[in-house]
Each structure stands twice: as structure tokens, then as C-alpha cells.
């Protein structure tokens, strides 16, 4: 059974480990360099009154996390979202369960809509957000990642 709870800075180490596995595998996140627990804590501390972080646990083991936060290139009524599920655990409802909690948090934070920027070559990510009710509203072409790789990004929007 998957349980969801708010993440705390005490989760930073396990979150970094999960994220680093995804970064190392490549192909799904725009992040290309490993992260540290300190970096995750710093991310969690960014705009704490406007952000919400959730973790998914199965049998006490971290199997995914998701967060929303404001973003400089978005209007104040919108937030950005990021979702990470442990490799080998996608397609099992973890992301869906996380999103239920995240959508509720977005309402509580009084956001009107959630923005998702997904690598266009991340077919699973595009399908995931579409299945949650996100709709296409734009595209960013030729984004250079930290590794030098050039990718396009699909912009999707979920109205609260």
C-alpha cells in the first residue's frame, strides 16, 4: 500500500539518492548532474510558504516524490510541478497518488493552475501528466541541458 505524507528536510538524503538514480539513468529529467542532500534541503527551503513537497512510501521505503513551487517565469497564480518515481516503480499508481495530494495542496496555496515542463523525448512523463488532466499549451524548442544535450520541452497546464 502506498502512503503519502508531507516531505521534510529530514527526507533530503533519501530524496537525493532517488533523484540521483534517475539522473544517472538519463532520458527523463532535465537535470544532468548529481544532487546532494544539502541541495535538496535548499530547494525545499525556497519559498516555503508557496511550496508543497510530498513523498510516497511503500512499506516504509521511499518510492517517489513530487513538489510544487512558484517559478520566476510564471504568473503568481501558477506554480511548477516536478515528479520523480523510483526506477522500476513507474506505472504502479505512485505518481497518481502523489498528484492527488499535490493538487489539494495547490488549492490550499490558492494557485489557479499548475505548470509542467516535460522533456519532449520523455514519453512516459508526457503520458503521465496527460493522464492527470494536464493539457498542452506550449513548447520550448532547443533547450540546452547541463550536459550539453539539446532537447525540446512540452508545456502542460492543469487548471485547479
Domains of the chain, first to last: 2-159 (3.40.630.30)
User: What is the rounded distance in angstroms from the CA atom of residue 59 to the CA atom of residue 98?
Assistant: 16
Question: Do the beta carbons of residue 142 and residue 152 sit within 8 Å?
Answer: yes
Q: What is the pLDDT of residue 13?
A: 97
Q: What is the pLDDT of residue 92?
A: 72
Cell numbers at 11, concatenated = 527526507
Torsion of CA 133, 29, 118, 91, to 10 degrees: -30
27 contact partners, CB below 8 Å, separation of at least 6? 119, 121, 122
Q: What is the pLDDT along the chain (160 residues), one digit of tens a residue?
A: 999 999 999 999 999 999 999 999 987 888 888 999 999 999 999 888 999 999 999 999 999 999 999 999 999 999 999 999 999 877 778 999 999 999 999 999 999 999 999 999 999 999 999 999 999 999 999 999 888 889 999 999 999 9
Question: Do the beta carbons of residue 83 and residue 94 sit within 8 Å?
Answer: no
Cell numbers at 59, concatenated = 512499506
Answering whether pTM is above 0.75, one says: yes
Amino acid at each position: 500500500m502506498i502512503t503519502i505524507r508531507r516531505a521534510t528536510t529530514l527526507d533530503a538524503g533519501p530524496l537525493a539518492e532517488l533523484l540521483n538514480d534517475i539522473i544517472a539513468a538519463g532520458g527523463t529529467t532535465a537535470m544532468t548532474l548529481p544532487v546532494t542532500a544539502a541541495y535538496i534541503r535548499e530547494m525545499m527551503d525556497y519559498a516555503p510558504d508557496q511550496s508543497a513537497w510530498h513523498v510516497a512510501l511503500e512499506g516504509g521505503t521511499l518510492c517517489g516524490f513530487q513538489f510544487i513551487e512558484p517559478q520566476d517565469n510564471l504568473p503568481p497564480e501558477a506554480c511548477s510541478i516536478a515528479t520523480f518515481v523510483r526506477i522500476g516503480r513507474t506505472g504502479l499508481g505512485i505518481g497518481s497518488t502523489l498528484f492527488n495530494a499535490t493538487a489539494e495542496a495547490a488549492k490550499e496555496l490558492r494557485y489557479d493552475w499548475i505548470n509542467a515542463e516535460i522533456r519532449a523525448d520523455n514519453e512516459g512523463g508526457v503520458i503521465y501528466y496527460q493522464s492527470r488532466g494536464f493539457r498542452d499549451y506550449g513548447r520550448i524548442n532547443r533547450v540546452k541541458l547541463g550536459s550539453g544535450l539539446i532537447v525540446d520541452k512540452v508545456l502542460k497546464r492543469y487548471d485547479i
